Amino acid sequence: MVLSGRDKPKVTTNRTVIRWVEQIAELTRPDRIYWCDGSEREKDELTAQALASGEVEALDPYKLPGCVLHRTAQNDVARTEGLTFICTSGKEDAGPTNNWMAPDQAYKKLGAIFEGSMAGRTMYVIPFIMGVPGSAFNKIGVELTDSIYVVLNMRIMTRMGRVAWDELGDSSDFTRCLHGKADLSLDRRFICHFPEDNTIWSVGSGYGGNVLLGKKCLALRLASHMGRREGWMAEHMLILGLEDRKGKITYIAAAFPSACGKTNLTMLIPPVTQPGYRVWTVGDDIAWMRIGPDGRLWAVNPEAGFFGVAPGTSKKSNPNALKTVRKNTIFTNVVKTPQNMVWWEGLDADTPAEGIDWKGEHWTVDSDQPGAHPNARFTTPASQCPCISPEWENPQGVPISAVIFGGRRARLAPLVYQSFDFQHGVFVGATMASERTAAQYGKLGEVRRDPMAMLPFCGYNMADYFQHWLDMGGKISQPPLIFHVNWFRTDQKGELLWPGYGENIRVLEWITERCAGQGKAHKTPIGYVPADGALDLSGLDLPEEVAQELLRVDCQDWLEELAQLKQFFAKFDDRRLPAEIKAELDALAKRLEQ
């Protein structure tokens, strides 16, 4: 098919892009093709169209200027990991933790669903940059989609439009991203990644994590693959700068599973008891890290916005996020109040007596159903965040002094511990686990192993991924220190022991002290925990026995954990699993037995 008339692009002359768009249009047969330029006028026009079609709804234009509300289909509210595939020629290259489909079979299967699926619809062509324009870290993608919601979200989450066409020029080096809503049925929903072709096809969903293809699909699944090939790392990590009382900023990258508080931690406001500290946000979800000329690891946030979990976001948990979302934000699956404001469980303010819930139905505060979906989201520009780091768009990134791994463990893991060295740190990351949250389908609360919080996002065999971490460690002359945190330890009654939120600064303080060669620690079989008195607990009403319980390492519990770890690692081909991981397992067993 050759594009003609209004379907012809005015924004690019890139032959490879045009030929590919023609090819996809032949398959999906849209009524028209719209080439995005990223302008404000385009945003206004598309928003007006989306309002007219009901795809988004208006909110109070004075209190929430530039904001709209969207509801997904009821069967389409989270990432569908069971329908997400890595399509490499060899099955073993996807590994035992990914779903795999042969590339030919995947193109055929999804091709049949895409066929004619855009008839009566517009296909939007969205060029986007993951990374900062002009940075050597950049990757460029072009997403074709039949969803205006996707276009409006991609405007916030990426640098898109003319800036991306300019950056791409005539190059054929871009990720080919195809998304179609098709009929949104679960049995015709697939999210397929083709690392060997730099291609992503996603069909049958309208949920952000499945359809904003720059985010999880490109910036993690494909990028992790690219990073391995090109010698860098794509990680599911927030990036923050912690400024101390002397004005020194230490940059930290931290991996937590989805919906475990990355956005809250990266926007943390220290309590009044900890004056002089300040947290600067660089990113809340993804870090691309390379070795700099100084031998340190430098990290860039490739995104331009936050796609954060709304429920639980409150003045207490994250006042900076609430300030960020006051304008130019897309709210998905939250409650709409009669005043055209938004509300969600855990907002702890302005609770409406009634409203329209995430399903679009009348809802009252006495309802036994939540008004907002537990995985309701806000999509908001990072530039609006009050604590955005002045370095967040630095094309070189920021130097990382510490890496934190964390999970939601009611019992096992102490509040914080430090690995013995980089290799042991890789093992700590590889053995991460967390209780399941609402960001993915499945049973809530169940413990699942989630190495480096990358289980759903690693685009290749995780055994090779562990090896890549170890190889990178061998090349970084000034490696970051590696820590593990657990804000979620509970007592016998299931009550959280640690106050969390802003008080987490106390743990970050100890971590930065360790990075500066200070901060006292005590050696345990699993790593270094803060020595008595090393964690600043002043002004915190925490009984001594609770403080001790938070840092306790129970060898019996860890021996049970060890058995589960062995089971998890047994999933991998023994020849592929790095010897260093096996050595660390043995070493942990020995230390525990002693």
Residue 70 vs 506, nearer CB to ligand OXD: 70
Q: Which of ligand OXD, Mn ion, none sits in contact with 270, Cβ below 5 to 8 A by type?
A: none
Residue in 36, 16, 33, 17 with CA at minimum distance from that of residue 161: 36
Residue 77 CB, nearest approach to ligand OXD (Å)? 12
> Residues 5 to 34: which contact ligand OXD by CB under 6 A?
none
- 285 interacts with ligand OXD by CB under 6 A: yes
- 535 interacts with ligand OXD by CB under 6 A: no
- 307 interacts with ligand OXD by CB under 6 A: yes
Are 259 and 439 in contact, with CB atoms under 8 Å apart?
Answer: yes
260 part of the active site: yes
Q: What are the backbone angles phi and psi of residue 81, rounded to the nearest 5°? A: -65, -30
Residue 37 vs 285, nearer CB to ligand OXD: 285
Q: What are the backbone angles phi and psi of residue 343, rounded to the nearest 5°? A: -155, 150
Q: How far apart are CA 2 and CA 184, in angstroms?
A: 29
Give residue 313's region: left, alpha or beta (phi > 0; psi -120 to 50).
beta
Q: Which of 80, 202, 258, 317 binds ligand OXD (CB under 6 A)?
A: 258
Residue 241 CB, nearest approach to ligand OXD (Å)? 21
Q: How far is CA 362 from CA 128, 215, 334, 339, in A?
A: 38, 33, 13, 14
- 439 interacts with ligand OXD by CB under 6 A: yes
Residue numbers of the site for Mn ion (CB under 5 A)? 258, 285
Residue 285 CB, nearest approach to ligand OXD (Å)? 5
Residue 143 vs 285, nearer CB to Mn ion: 285
Residue 161 CB, nearest approach to ligand OXD (Å)? 23
Q: Which residues of 403-429 are buried (b: 16+ CB within 10 A; e: fewer)?
A: bbbbbbbbebbbbbbbbbebbbbbbbb
Residue 106 CB, nearest approach to ligand OXD (Å)? 22
Residue 285 vs 509, nearer CB to ligand OXD: 285
Residue 221 CB, nearest approach to ligand OXD (Å)? 12
Q: Which residues of 250-288 are buried (b: 16+ CB within 10 A; e: fewer)?
A: bbbbbbbbbbbbbbbbbbbbbbeebeebbbbbbbbbbbb
- 205 interacts with ligand OXD by CB under 6 A: no
Q: Which of Mn ion, ligand OXD, none sits in contact with 449, Cβ below 5 to 8 A by type?
A: none
- Residue 490, SS3 per DSSP: strand
Hey, what are 565's tokens? 């770890």
Are 212 and 154 in contact, with CB atoms under 8 Å apart?
Answer: yes
Identify the active-site residue in 177, 192, 217, 260: 260
Residue type, 464: D
* Rounded (to 5) percent helix, strand, coil in the chain: 30, 25, 45
The DSSP bridge partners found for residue 175 are: 141
Q: Which of 79, 179, 221, 336 binds ligand OXD (CB under 6 A)?
A: 79
Q: How far apart are CA 256 and CA 408, in angstroms?
A: 9
Residue 69 vs 217, nearer CB to ligand OXD: 217
Q: Which of Mn ion, ligand OXD, none sits in contact with 79, Cβ below 5 to 8 A by type?
A: ligand OXD
Residue 149 vs 277, nearer CB to ligand OXD: 149
In the numeric block, the tokens 């035992």 are attached to: 96
Residue 262 CB, nearest approach to Mn ion (Å)? 7
Q: How far apart are CA 515 and CA 506, in angstroms?
A: 14
Residue 314 vs 375, nearer CB to ligand OXD: 375
The DSSP bridge partners found for residue 400 are: 251, 297
Residue 36 exposed, middle or buried by CB count within 10 Å (0-12, 13-18, 19+): buried
Residue 258 vs 401, nearer CB to Mn ion: 258
Q: Which of Mn ion, ligand OXD, none sits in contact with 580, Cβ below 5 to 8 A by type?
A: none
Q: Which residue is nearest to ligand OXD (CB)?
A: 258
- 209 interacts with ligand OXD by CB under 6 A: yes
Residue 376 CB, nearest approach to ligand OXD (Å)? 12
Name the residues annotated as catalytic. 260
Which residues of the shown chain bind ligand OXD in the complex (CB under 6 A)? 79, 209, 258, 285, 307, 439
